[in-house]
Structure 1
Amino acid sequence: MADHPATPPQVIIHPDDRCTTLYGEDLSVAMDRGVRTWGNTDDGASVMLVGTYQSAGEISDRLLRALPPVLVLARDEWDSPLVPLLASEITKDEQGQSAVLDRLLDLLLIAVLRAWFARAESTPGWFRAQADPVVGRALRMLQNHPSHPWTVASLAGRLGVSRAALARRFNELVGEPPMAYLTSWRLALAADLLREPDATLGAVARQVGYGSPFALSAAFKRVRGVSPQEFRAAAQPVAS
């Protein structure tokens, strides 16, 4: 972040609240301004509230692909009571503070995304479909219960509509048939679960609705081009 594109970088902000110069010199003490607060002056003209989601995943990647690299909502375009609330809470040091800040950051992110997609020229089909009384419920059923042995007929029965009507409406709004969406959702969940070093292939298969590790492996390889074991090996951080 800079006041002008020509301003040279001065500080690198690392994960875990660590700041250094470009040459690796630690600035955490020199820039400390209080609880979770850092800067080069106590009365600067600009204040930034910074929050970070440090773990990437296949599920979150669906959302990231639908967003621009930098999303900007100006104050005159959008206002929320969550911003001053977060600004107040972030400088406190009380019991349970991390949980409070995590929840506020989640709420702020949701509010920003709602405002952005409401005005965006194009929004992903799965986002628009959430508001549909039939397809929205279908999506929530598939997402919340991926291990259930869903079929279009059983899903339509739960919703009280015909199989043909559900299939047609789902495809129109989401852009793919219900079972194709379910497969991609299951495999995205499986990919995220495979990042956990202690998760066995059998346990992952059961959680995402495949009857055996072999069935999951076959589907994973067919859609993603690599086996679950190969994906897991590539996803592991490289030791330094």
Structure 2
Amino acid sequence: MSKAPTFDYSGKVAFVTGAGSGIGRATALAFAEAGASVTIVDISEQGLAETAALIAAAGGKSLSVRADVTKSAEIKAALEKTIISFGRLDAAFNNAGIEQPGASIVDLDEDLLDRVLNVNLKSVFLCMKHQIPLMLKNGGGAIVNTSSGAGVMAIRNQSGYCASKFGVTVASKVAALEYADQNIRVNALCPGIIDTPMIARYTGGTEEGRARIIKQEPVGRMGKPEEIAATVLFLCSEQGSFITGHALVADGAQTAGI
């Protein structure tokens, strides 16, 4: 169990996609531990059940919704269930994403490219499309979209992934400009190498693979999902109320040299 962040979300409602594992799970837990009611969304029923059990064990309240975030109707339905269950929407963490196996632009499979763009980028557009009107009914809210270090720098053999994450960064800035005067804050969060199941798949799950990727981090270690979760809660909190339209990089100085 992660240590509860020092934020008070009592009476607030949060919506987290990709909540079945990794950063999404840690953030859903953090919101619940801080007092929020949390809708957890994922395509994995097992992952959702595990996250819901952890929230319940911590004394929190959650609503589990299995949904494909590339489908507008499924996102809309998940948000409608949120309003029915909790009555409002205050914060959203649009975090669902997938990795891209390394391949040059020439060799990148078109079907894989479509999937990476749909899951990583289109889902963020669809989530904001349906979240913002609900937040406006409450007088405002805060959205954090998961970009990546790959959303601020180019990485060889990751053209599809970088394109998806650069898109998230820019879409977040545009949405922030469009709704800043209506008390909707939108930021992109750009994590570096975080110790999650996605990274385990990327490294092959071996100690050699882990060591290879850790060498890319100037701080000499991977980040923890709980560290990213705390950053999300800050961005959605009153303490972060003057931050909008920003791409916050949390990567142990990995991109400091660009």
Q: TM-score range by the shorter chain?
A: under 0.3
Q: TM-score, normalised by structure 2?
A: 0.25
Structure number with greater CO (CA < 8 Å, separation at least 6) is 2
> Is the radius of gyration larger for structure 1 or structure 2?
1
Q: TM-score, normalised by structure 1?
A: 0.27
Which structure has greater strand proportion? Answer: 2
